[in-house]
Structure 1
């Protein structure tokens, strides 16, 4: 997903064979699949569940890390491209905010 890698300081990694991710600093903000993207969709599971309520056929809790607010969002379904891009930006911003200040990338306009 080109948008993930266009964000300041973002880079592509393959930490496990066959799994492509986008990172900022040393932290993952997106799990990139061919037909889906895994993102931090809320600060808590309750907050991330809003995606499941709105898109029961196109959003699901991610295995292992879902309890921390991570969801898988299906691409090309009921979730619009704009909503996916906004979710990517939100996941990225959440991860950047948790990085130590010294590891945060410079943001445009700062």
Structure 2
């Protein structure tokens, strides 16, 4: 996967923007709405080789994903209970990576104030 595509997948989500709080080499993708609350949902050194991205994940799902996909591990320098590191070396198809990015965004938005969730037109998922 190319870095430009990773950026595009992150920025296509409502309220998403790119920030560089750790320096110009690390893209931090955050989501925010009207209240100004901004939370990180993805982190990547887009110029790095090999390319990878850190994404938020529900703890039980994180364990299952790591067991099923060797390219998914605990995220480096982040809480490994809640963050996965995903190698973007081509082993995972783009649709899967896009789903993981959206799931991360979804988890972060679920924790925003109700007014912000409404501004982002977020709807809670009901799995069944």
Which residue of structure 1 aligns with residue 45 of structure 2?
Answer: 33
Q: Give the C-alpha shift of residue 107 in structure 1.
A: 2.1
Separation (CA, whole Å) in 2 of partners of 1:61 and 1:68: 7
- Aligned partner of 2:89 in structure 1 is 76
Which structure 2 segments of 5+ residues have no match? 1-6, 33-37, 123-128
How far off its partner does 1:75 sit?
A: 1.0
Give ranges in structure 1 of 5+ residues lacking alignment.
none
Q: Distance in 2 between matches of 1:9 and 1:85?
A: 16
After TM superposition, the score normalised by the length of structure 2 is 0.73
Q: Which runs of 4+ in 1 moved over 4 A?
A: none
TM-superposed deviation, 1:52: 1.4
Match of 1:9 in 2: 15
TM superposition score normalised by structure 1 = 0.84
Count, aligned residues: 106
Query: RMSD in angstroms over aligned alpha carbons?
Result: 1.9
CA distance in 1 between counterparts of 2:52 and 2:78 reads 16
Question: In proportion to residue count, which structure has more strand?
Answer: 1
